[in-house]
Chain A
Amino acid sequence: MTHQAFLELADDCLVLGHRLSEWCGHAPMLEEDLALPNMALDLIGTSRVLYDHAGKVEGEGRSEDDMAYLRDERAYRNCLLVERPNGDFAHTMLRQFFFVAFMHPYWQAALHSSDPVIAGVAGKAVKELAYHIRHTGEWVIRMGDGTEESTARMRDAVDALAIYIDELFESSDAAAEAEAAGVLPKRADQRAAFDATVAHVFAEAGLEMPTVSHPQTGGRNGIHGEGLGHMLSKMQSVHRALPGVTW
């Protein structure tokens, strides 16, 4: 069951990493055209180690490629936030900011994991995500407190993505088991750090967190939005057409 908790983490990283990679060649300026794939590669690198580890813990011979390319939408266990479509630049930056504001303290806590692989992943991710917070935070501030248009777009992004925040702090049965065993940190424990990071940036950006009456959840049970299936069909198409192909 522990391997499923690792899969949840790996899916979060791969799905968000793939979403970011969709910007490659399409970003509003060359500098961001490199910055977004840089962040994507950080996340995809993390997912690879976690998939490999999940496969070994599961003990049924599944490789990282089997995990990433041969599971259907319903088998994916990522939270809903990371699969949200890129939308405009404000949506992408805010989605990233929310995720890393949660994930950075999570990996910090995971430095003390009883599983050396998880502690190792955490050591690398803590540095990578510290930069993601800085980079996305600066953009959220500049767009939130920018022109009339950038402010409107960032407010739209806040309204669209706030409903996916609560799910970040929910633990599935698999995750709860790993948390109780000291293998993974408790998701709910990261709420205070998340709120502090977001409050700090939102204050500078002149943004307000809306009251969410109906938070969305279900990703950890494989219940996803309509976008994930499309994303996976593209991401998995080469491997499914030419199984095991290498170059």
Chain B
Amino acid sequence: MAHETPLWEVFIRPRNGLSHKHVGSIHAADEVLALQAARDVYTRRGEGNSIWVVPSAAITASDPDQSGENFDPSADKIYRHPTFYDIPDEVGHM
């Protein structure tokens, strides 16, 4: 059965104010059953309060062979990190 049932990626939001985070994948015939399967598989221990499911086929991934050209150039540009500013104490946690 599994080989003809589409795969879905599951994203869960642990609580309000946080963003949805990828937690894994499930098989389901359509989006309604996908949400239910995600609920049944990934929220059994109070993991969150919102679920997204996305067809795995809808995700376009970067090519691992291009990871050098994609990601290495950022390694030596420390001036892009906001570490050169003095933040007033009153701002609190940023």
Knowing A138-B32, A142-B29, say if A31 contacts B37 (CB, 8 Å): yes
Question: Contacts A138-B32, A138-B36, A142-B29 known; A34 to B1 CB distance under 8 Å?
Answer: no
Count of B residues near A, CB < 8 Å?
Answer: 15
Whether B40 sits at the interface, judged by CB under 8 Å, is yes
Q: What is the size, in residues, of chain A's interface with B at 8 Å between Cβ atoms?
A: 13
Whether A153 is near chain B, meaning CB under 8 Å from some CB there, is no
| Residues on B with beta carbons closer than 8 Å to the beta carbon of A34 | 40-41, 44
Chain B residues with Cβ below 8 Å from A31 are 26-28, 37, 40-41
Q: Does A71 contact B (CB under 8 A)?
A: no
Contacts of B44 in A (CB 8 A): 34, 38
Determine chain A's interface SS by DSSP, over half rule.
helix
Q: Would you call A241 an interface residue if the criterion is a C-beta within 8 Å of the partner chain's C-beta atoms?
A: no
Taking A34-B40, A34-B44, A38-B44 as contacts, is the C-beta distance between A28 and B33 under 8 angstroms?
no
Q: Is A135 part of the contact surface with B, judged by Cβ < 8 Å? A: yes
A38 and B40 within 8 A (CB): yes
B70 CB–A CB distance under 8 Å = no
* A29-B40 contact given A138-B32, A138-B33, A142-B33, CB 8 Å threshold: no
- The answer to whether B37 and A35 touch across the interface, beta carbons within 8 angstroms, is yes
**Closest CB of chain B to A120's CB: distance in Å?**
20
Q: Quick check: is B2 within 8 A (CB to CB) of the other chain?
A: yes
Residues of A124-156 whose CB lies within 8 A of B: 131, 134-135, 138-139, 142
Contact A30 B29 (CB under 8 A): no
Q: Which of A30, A31, A38 has the most CB of B within 10 A?
A: A31
Cβ contacts under 8 Å, A131 to chain B: 39
A28 and B27 CA atoms in complex are apart in Å by 12
User: Are A135 and B36 closer than 8 Å at their CB atoms?
Assistant: yes
Per-residue CB contact flags for chain B residues 1-20 toward chain A (1 = under 8 Å, else 0) read 11001000000000000000
Q: How far is B40's CA from A139's CA once the two chains are assembled, in angstroms?
A: 14
Min CB distance A220 to B, Å, is 32
| Chain A residues with CB below 8 A from B39, complex form | 131
Contacts of A134 in B (CB 8 A): 36
Q: Would you call B1 and A28 a contact (CB within 8 A)?
A: yes
**4 additional A-B residue pairs with CB within 8 Å, beyond A29-B2, A31-B37:** A31-B26, A31-B40, A135-B40, A138-B33
15 contacts between A and B (CB under 8 A): A28-B1, A29-B1, A29-B5, A29-B27, A30-B26, A30-B27, A31-B37, A31-B41, A34-B41, A38-B44, A134-B36, A135-B40, A138-B36, A139-B33, A142-B33
Residues of B that sit less than 8 Å from A by CB: 1-2, 5, 26-29, 32-33, 36-37, 39-41, 44
Residue numbers of A with Cβ under 8 A of B are 28-31, 34-35, 38, 131, 134-135, 138-139, 142
